[in-house]
Amino acid sequence: MLKKFVSSLLAVLLLAGCSAGSAKSEVVPAFSASETALEIVKDLELTESMEELKQKNVIRMIFQGAEDVVTDCSVYRSKNSGNSDTIGVFVTRDNEAVKEYLDTYLNDIKAQTETYYPEEVFKISNAVIEEKEGVVILVIAEDIEKAKRTARIFANN
């Protein structure tokens, strides 16, 4: 008799726990890397000088061809030769992996820039990387303080 009572009580508690979890689940609007990156470009007033890269080029350039690192991404780079302005928004299941790739990418472009465009090295050295669960944002811009504020705002939305 006691076994039946305990078994029934456990079953009720498990069912209650399952239903409570499903009651909490809400539909979360889809996060768009492209829309967010464009908003950052607009906020930093770089609309005229930036162009969006194709996703396959981003995967090749930043993630060395590893397609499974991000589920969505958008990168804007300066159209002007020698200008390292870059805005990147990366949706991922592994923020740490994305940040490691970004560190490698930044080191690579910094080494290239030192030779040909030394005035850009400071911007690259002070690149802003902000993150929240599942999203990493990269900003390389002239106005570093505004870049930090903007990246924080979008990372916390």
28 or 36: which carries more pLDDT confidence? 36
Q: Which residue has the higher pLDDT, 157 or 13?
A: 157
Query: pTM of this prediction?
Result: 0.78
Average pLDDT score over residue span 121-149: 94
At residue 12, does pLDDT exceed 60? no
Per-residue pLDDT at 137 exceeds 50: yes
User: Is residue 84 within 8 Å of residue 46, measured between CB atoms?
Assistant: no
Contacts by residues 73-77 (CB-CB < 8 Å, ≥ 24 positions apart)? 73/33, 74/33, 74/34, 74/36, 74/37, 74/38, 75/37, 75/138, 76/37, 76/38, 76/41, 76/46, 76/50, 76/51, 76/52, 77/50, 77/51, 77/53
Report the pLDDT value the prediction gives residue 152, as an integer from 0 to 100. 86
Query: What confidence category does residue 23 fall into, taking pLDDT thresholds of 50, 70 and 90?
Result: very low
| Integer CA distances (angstroms), 60 to 14, 50, 98, 110, 112, in order | 47, 19, 13, 18, 17
**pLDDT of residue 27 exceeding 90:** no
Could you read off the pLDDT of 70-108 as tens digits, one per residue?
A: 999 999 999 999 999 999 999 999 999 999 999 999 999
CA–CA–CA angle 117, 87, 151 (5° rounding)? 120
Chain CA centroid to CA 13, Å: 39
Domain ranges of the chain: 31-155
Q: Answer whether residue 10 shows pLDDT above 70.
A: no
